[in-house]
Amino acid sequence: MLVRPTRLATSITAASLAAPTPVATTSSRRDPKTIFEAYRNAFAPVLKAQQEGIKAMDRLGRYQYALAGDYLEWSLAHAKAAVGAQTPAEFVSKQVELATALSEKLRTRAQEFVTLATDAQTSFSEVVSEAAVKATSKAAEVTKEATKRAA
């Protein structure tokens, strides 16, 4: 079923055709500086979160690079042990030494990783809490202004 639009009865008066009242050029709503400041304030927490995320990714990349270096050193030491060992007993003892050294390095790297994760979580939590505090204070200001205007 097709519905046809109906015409609404409107009254056109001279007052409605009059030119709209001009808005002052110094209006705070249309001032570019005010607009940019509002955007800057609105997106500041996002920018800070991105910066913290980039820092965390950089630290994680450096951590992975160091871990790969540990494995490379371990594999080179294994190759040297295989080439330089005179007897099988000497080769096995070198492998045990290398495995012990690698396990200590990996234990240290695991502790570093926990520290990295904790620091990243802490910094992200700080960013979120700062943003929440700013949003709450801004909401309170807007509410006060609206209450004053209404009164």
| Most distant CA pair in the chain, distance | 110
pTM comes to 0.65
Contact assessment for residue 56 and residue 116, using Cβ atoms and an 8 Å cutoff: yes
Question: Is 50 exceeded by the pLDDT of residue 147?
Answer: yes
Average pLDDT, the chain: 83
Alpha helices (H) along the chain: 14-17, 32-84, 88-150
Q: CA-CA distance, 124 to 48, in Å (whole number)?
A: 9
Give the contacts of 127 (CB within 8 A, at least 6 positions apart): 45, 48, 49, 52
Question: Is 60 exceeded by the pLDDT of residue 24?
Answer: no
